[in-house]
């Protein structure tokens, strides 16, 4: 065992003193260390301890906190290997020898909690394989396991209370045969990809066989020969002819959930038909309980779905008479209503309390018929469809009176608020808005009047203030603005005067804040400029707190002259003036109204509008002539002469008019310009 001491020494040297040593460091190993297990990447070590050998594994990279795999007692570890028995992760097997006898244990790794667990359901088969063997190795164990019928031995099955079912050794039994998805026997050997189910028998009593049926689930996750599926038990019962897929059941019966292993059906068969007490359950839908006679439900049954329970009679597998409904929450049950059945069909009076409200009426041939009170409102049904006058409840205590034809609104709808005041009138054709729609204020005054065609606004839509004054007159087409577009303030002042053409507004538009204070005013025009377009034209003004702060003249969307104001004082801040002969003057101002600087330029650009050439002064042009700046007291601060875009002469003065500098030094005095405010 020199290799065990060397391995421990190497491990200690590798980890050094800066990190914890692995759990197997310095230990005496009963089998070579196994790292990177295929199913988990874990490290597995079999360590000799007082009392025998124990197996440990670690998933953590530092391998300092191991989990116990198993206690093998006074044993020698002969082989550790894995085998794929189903479509899930491989099964890990340990072959060991104890008191001269071979033994095998199997383990399955659970990726959810990162733990290995013994496959107790496979243990009987492993004991049969190892029993009385003089020689046993991994290859022999694998060959024997492959002779078993396919099964996921890690699957859990809920106890049914029937010992012969709950203690069944699923690894044993005699194979009856395979069946396809339709329950038809498969005669081919091997059965191939259609092996959807198979059956096994385990014991016989008086011509009846204890039979288990197994179901494979979906497609195989592991490809190969043979294909590996995730088989698990579907149901267990006694059968007289197990070679038939169904129809010969005779005795106790238990069925398991396809995925959770819970008991979802339990009862008994007699000559292939359900008989006596039966119960069915579903984790999602609830449970049912009652009696069968000759394969049909008879007598009182209890059916629970979620929190609601229904109790009533079955006659020949069909509901009959009055079924009582109750609601059970927290162990407290309260009657919530009833339903009436005739031969399995709702027929007659019904009453059910839902969310504190009781719905009541009658059914005919499984459909609501005649007067009903529902959560939505009250009215009549014909053949399950709302028909005739109805009163519907809406939000905030409002109610609507309207007419239905075959469950569709038809005619006039009138809505009133909680105080009975009319707030809305609509008109419908086959559930679609068509005609006038009017809305009223809580005081009963008309607020708006709209026209609809086929559910879309069409024509004029009028809006009114609380005191009855017109505040909007807007035209629509196909649920879009189209045509005259007028809005007014409550005092009658026009706010918007124009029209929509092709989805764009044309005309005068004023915009106000929530206090009806003007903050922008602009004109919009349609013209041709690289295609038809709508842009600003004429004067545009902006306001701050209701006071003018900016105005600009637009020429076919191009800004020309403009003035910016200090809205608090009304004084100019800057301006751009377009003069004769394409002269452009730009001024900035001190806060006392005195001109700060004046730039003079000339120039324009051409733009094509409506197939004609038009001058635009949007750009500032080229500086030319005398440029002036002033001190706050009005005295000239600087004079500069621009010639062909270049500075020809510049003179700087102090506030008393004394010359401070000039460029060039022999610069003569430029022409005098007015310094006015």
Concatenated DSSP letters for 401-465? Answer: EEEEETTEE-EEEEEE-TTS-EEEEEEEETTEE-EEEEEE-TTS-EEEEEEEETTEE-EEEEEE-
> Residues 83-139: pLDDT tens digits?
999 988 899 999 999 999 999 999 999 999 999 999 999 999 999 999 999 999 999
DSSP 3-state of 231: coil
> Residues 576-624: pLDDT tens digits?
999 999 999 999 999 999 999 999 999 999 999 999 999 999 999 899 9
Q: What is the pLDDT of residue 640?
A: 93
- Sign, CA torsion 20/22/23/26: negative
Candidates 191, 200, 233; CA nearest to 216 is 233
Structure tokens at 396: 């905030």
What is the average pLDDT across 209-219?
Answer: 89
Indicate the pTM of the whole model: 0.70
Q: How far is CA 391 from CA 337, 423, 457, in A?
A: 23, 15, 26
- Which residue has tokens 């005191």? 467
Candidates 676, 677, 638, 672; CA nearest to 655 is 638
Tell how strand 408-409 and strand 494-501 pair up: unpaired
DSSP 14: H
Give the mean pLDDT of the chain.
Answer: 91
What is the average pLDDT across 303-325?
Answer: 94
Q: How far is CA 496 from CA 130, 289, 618, in A?
A: 97, 72, 27
> Residues 2-33: pLDDT tens digits?
333 333 433 433 434 446 799 999 999 999 99
Q: Do 497 and 505 contact (CB within 8 A), yes or no? A: no
* Sequence-distant (≥ 6) Cβ neighbours of residue 330 within 8 angstroms: none
What is the average pLDDT across 540-548?
Answer: 94
Q: How confident is the model at residue 158 (pLDDT cuts 50, 70, 90)?
A: very high
Which residues in 168-307 belong to E strands, given as ranges?
174-179, 197-205, 208-215, 232-239, 249-256, 263-270, 273-282, 286-293, 296-305
């Amino acid at each position: 065992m020199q290799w065990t001491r060397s391995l421990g020494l190497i491990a200690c040297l590798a980890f050094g003193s800066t990190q914890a040593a692995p759990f197997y460091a310095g230990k005496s190993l009963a089998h070579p260390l196994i790292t990177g297990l295929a199913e988990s990447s874990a490290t597995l070590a079999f360590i000799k301890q007082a009392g025998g050998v124990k197996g440990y594994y670690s998933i953590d990279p530092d391998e300092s906190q191991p989990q116990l795999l198993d206690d093998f007692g006074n044993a020698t570890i002969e082989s550790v290997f894995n085998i794929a028995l189903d479509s899930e992760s491989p099964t890990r097997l340990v072959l060991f020898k104890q008191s001269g006898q071979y033994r095998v244990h199997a383990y399955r790794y659970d990726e959810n909690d990162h733990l290995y667990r013994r496959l107790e359901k496979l243990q009987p088969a492993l004991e049969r394989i190892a029993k009385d063997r003089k020689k046993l190795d991994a290859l022999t164990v694998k060959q024997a396991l492959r002779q078993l019928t396919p099964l996921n031995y890690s699957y859990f099955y809920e106890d049914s209370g029937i010992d012969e079912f709950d203690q069944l050794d699923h690894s044993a039994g005699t194979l009856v045969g395979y069946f396809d998805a339709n329950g038809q026997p498969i005669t081919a050997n091997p059965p191939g990809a259609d092996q959807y189910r198979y059956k096994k028998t385990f014991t016989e009593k008086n011509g009846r066989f204890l039979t288990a049926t197994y179901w494979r689930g979906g497609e195989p996750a592991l490809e190969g020969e043979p294909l590996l599926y995730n088989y698990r038990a579907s149901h267990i019962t006694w059968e007289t002819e197990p070679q038939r897929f169904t129809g010969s059941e005779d005795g106790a019966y238990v069925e398991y959930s396809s995925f959770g292993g819970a008991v979802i059906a339990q009862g008994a068969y007699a000559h292939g038909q359900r008989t006596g007490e039966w119960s069915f359950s579903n984790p999602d839908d609830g449970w049912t309980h009652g009696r069968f006679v000759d394969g049909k439900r008879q007598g009182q049954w209890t059916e629970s779905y979620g929190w609601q329970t229904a109790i009533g009679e079955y006659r020949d597998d069909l509901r009959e008479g009055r079924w009582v409904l109750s609601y059970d929450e927290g162990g407290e049950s309260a009657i919530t209503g009833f339903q009436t059945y005739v031969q399995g069909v709702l027929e007659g009076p019904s009453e059910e309390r839902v969310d504190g409200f009781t719905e009541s009426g009658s059914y005919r041939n499984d459909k609501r018929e005649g007067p009903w009170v529902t959560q939505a409102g009250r009215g009549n049904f014909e053949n399950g469809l709302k028909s005739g006058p109805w009163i519907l409840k809406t939000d905030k205590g409002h109610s609507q009176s309207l007419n239905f034809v075959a469950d569709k609104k038809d005619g006039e709808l009138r809505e009133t608020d909680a105080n009975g005041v009319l707030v809305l009138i609509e008109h419908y054709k086959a559930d679609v808005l068509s005609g006038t729609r009017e809305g009223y204020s809580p005081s009963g005054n008309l607020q708006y009047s709209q026209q609809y065609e086929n559910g879309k606004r069409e024509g004029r839509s009028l809006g009114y203030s609380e005191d009855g004054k017109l505040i909007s007159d807007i035209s629509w087409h196909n649920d879009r603005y189209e045509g005259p577009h007028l809005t007014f303030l409550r005092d009658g002042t026009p706010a918007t005067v124009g029209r929509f053409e092709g989805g764009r507004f044309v005309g005068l538009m004023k915009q106000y804040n929530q206090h009806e204070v003007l903050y922008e005013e602009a004109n919009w025009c349609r013209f041709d400029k690289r295609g038809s377009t709508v842009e600003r034209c004429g004067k545009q003004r902006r306001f701050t707190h209701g006071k003018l702060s900016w105005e600009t003249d637009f020429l076919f969307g191009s800004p020309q002259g403009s003035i910016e104001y200090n809205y608090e004082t009304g004084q100019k801040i800057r301006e751009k003036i377009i003069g004769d002969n394409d002269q452009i003057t730009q001024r900035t101002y001190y806060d006392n109204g005195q001109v700060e600087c004046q730039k003079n330029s000339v120039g324009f650009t051409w733009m094509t509008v409506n197939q004609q050439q038009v001058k635009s002064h949007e750009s500032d042009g080229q500086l030319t002539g005398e440029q002036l700046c002033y001190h706050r007291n009005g005295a000239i601060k600087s004079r500069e002469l621009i010639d062909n875009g270049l500075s020809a002469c510049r003179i700087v003065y102090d506030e008393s008019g004394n010359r401070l500098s000039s460029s060039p030094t022999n610069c003569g005095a430029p022409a005098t310009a007015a310094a006015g405010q």
